[in-house]
Structure 1
Amino acid sequence: MASNFDKFQKRRLISSYFSVVLSVFLVLFLLGVLGLFVINSKKLADDFKEKIAMTVFFDNEANDSIIKAFGTDLKKMPFAKKFVYVSKDEAAKLHTDIIGEDFLTFLGENPLQNSYDIHLKADYVERDSIVKIERTLRKNEMISDIVYDKQLVNLVNDNIKKVSFWILIISGFLTVIAVLLINSSLRLSIHSNRFIIKTMQMVGATKAFIRKPFVMRSVKLGMLGAGLAIIALIALLIYVNTNFPSLGILDDKILIAFVLISVLGIGILITWLSTHFATQRFLNLRTDDLY
């Protein structure tokens, strides 16, 4: 009979440990994902901005030397991330592929113009900066027109500000939820040992002596949960970098290491504080209140 009771107690203890580790793992993994997203949010926003192209069209009178000189000047421009020259013949071929028929056969001539597709650096994809760039480029008399999606530029910048604000709000909210969930799991674990705590106190053990094994056990569980969260985060980073290498998500290794170390630190800190206050609560209770 006693053996069955011991097995039951052991299973309950293992179940309690498992729930604590699982809670710590899930919460810290979500916090880690959010942390990685925050440090990479600017990179993601910059990557999206730099996909917006500004197309510069040239007059038909512009010869190859003028167009080549413009490309040479672009290399010296601080705002140009990359640029591609598209000849009128290449543009005609591209249009033919899109519409599925050769429009030159019934027009008789190519109405398209030679152009450059310029991708600006992210810092220059702003309303005022693009207007200044456009004004500077239009000083070249051989440029007939400059086209870019003004509405998209405005929309991107406005939405990035809104997303940044909500990321801060969500980060704070999830942090509070993380503390509450981990604290709740640990309190339940300590609650199951409340009679042991009170018994030790009644035989003369000091509060610090009683707290120590519970705190050490919780910290170890917290480290285990945090370790699993770190492994899962590293796996996630490798997966994203393998499938989306253009994001360069592993480039900033210092910040990534900071996030991973913070996950471990938060796991240890929350479990230590939660266990400390949970045991203190039962130490301060009268024996009758334990029931």
Structure 2
Amino acid sequence: MTSKFETYQKRRLISSYFSVVISIFLVLFLLGTLGLFVINSKKITNDFKENIPMTVFFKNEAKDSVLSNFDTKLKNSLFIKEYAFVHKDSAAKNNVDIVGKDFMEFLGFNPLQNSFDINLKGDYVVADSIKIIEADIKKNEFVSEIIYDKQLVDLVNNNIKKISFWMLVISGFLAVVAMLLINSSLRLSIYSHRFTIKTMQMVGATKSFIRKPFIWRSIKLGLAGSILAIIALFGLVYYVDGLFPSLQIAKDYISLGIVSAGILFVGIIITTISTFFATQRFLNLRTDDLY
């Protein structure tokens, strides 16, 4: 009979510890994912903005020397991420491949122009910077037209501000929820030991002596949950890196190190503080209140 009861108690204890570790893991994984997103938000937004192309068309009068000089200018410009020269003959061939008809057959000539497809660095894809770059390029008398999606640029920059604000709000909310969930799980775990706590106190054990094993056990549970969260986060990072290799999140070891250290720190601190106050509550209860 006694052995069955002890086995039942052990199972309950293991189940309690398991639920605490899972709670810590889920909360810290969400916080870690959010933290990694916040740290890499600039990289993510820049990657999106750098895919908004700007096309500079040149007049047919522009000779190879003019195009070569412009190529050199782009190569030495700080605001350029990458660019490519598109010859009008290549543009015509691409048009035939897309449309399926050769428009030059009935026109008798190629109406397209030589052009440069330019991708600006993310920091320069804002309305003011683009206007300055556009004005500088238009100083070249052989430039006939500059095309880029102005509305998309404004839309992206406005949405980035909104997303950044809401990410901060969500981060704060999740941090509070994390503390409440972990605190609740640990309190339930310690609740099952309330009679043990009171018995130790009645035989003369000091509060710090009683509290120490509970805090140490909570730290180990916090470490277990934190390690699981870090492993899951690394798995998510490598998955996202496979989908968006240009971001190179998996190779950003500094950001990964900061988030991993933050997860460990938060896991240990929250479990320690929660256990301290939970044990303190039962230590201050009267024996009759335990029931």
Q: Give the shorter-chain TM-score range.
A: over 0.9
- State how far apart, in whole Å, the 2-side matches of 1:254 and 1:247 are: 14
- State how far apart, in whole Å, the 2-side matches of 1:21 and 1:78 are: 50
Please name the residue that 2:212 is paired with: 212
- State how far apart, in whole Å, the 1-side matches of 2:190 and 2:223 are: 18
Please name the residue that 2:61 is paired with: 61
Offset from partner CA, 1:199-231 (integer Å, 9 cap, x none): 111111111111111111111011011011111
**1:123 is matched by which residue type in structure 2?**
D
**1:13 is matched by which residue type in structure 2?**
L
Deviation at 1:246, TM superposition (A): 1.1
- 4+ runs of 1 displaced by more than 6 Å? none
- State how far apart, in whole Å, the 1-side matches of 2:252 and 2:6 are: 51
Identity between Structure 1 and Structure 2 (%): 66
Please name the residue that 1:111 is paired with: 111
Matches within 5 A, 1:1-291: 1-291=1-291
**1:281 is matched by which residue type in structure 2?**
R
Gaps of 5+ in 2: none
Deviation at 1:238, TM superposition (A): 2.3
**1:225 is matched by which residue type in structure 2?**
G
- State how far apart, in whole Å, the 1-side matches of 2:209 and 2:77 are: 69
**1:248 is matched by which residue type in structure 2?**
Q
Offset from partner CA, 1:108-133 (integer Å, 9 cap, x none): 22111100011111111111111111
- State how far apart, in whole Å, the 1-side matches of 2:140 and 2:210 are: 81
Q: TM-score, normalised by structure 1?
A: 0.98
Matched pairs, number: 291
Offset from partner CA, 1:122-161 (integer Å, 9 cap, x none): 1111111111111111010000011100000000110111
- State how far apart, in whole Å, the 2-side matches of 1:276 and 1:21 are: 18
Deviation at 1:252, TM superposition (A): 2.9
Offset from partner CA, 1:224-258 (integer Å, 9 cap, x none): 11011111112222222234221111343222201
- State how far apart, in whole Å, the 2-side matches of 1:108 and 1:4 are: 96
Gaps of 5+ in 1: none
- State how far apart, in whole Å, the 1-side matches of 2:29 and 2:78 are: 40
- State how far apart, in whole Å, the 1-side matches of 2:77 and 2:37 are: 31
Structure 1 residues 222-231 or 88-97, which shifts more? 88-97
Offset from partner CA, 1:17-67 (integer Å, 9 cap, x none): 000000001110111111111111100100111111110000011111211
RMSD of aligned Cα (Å) = 1.0
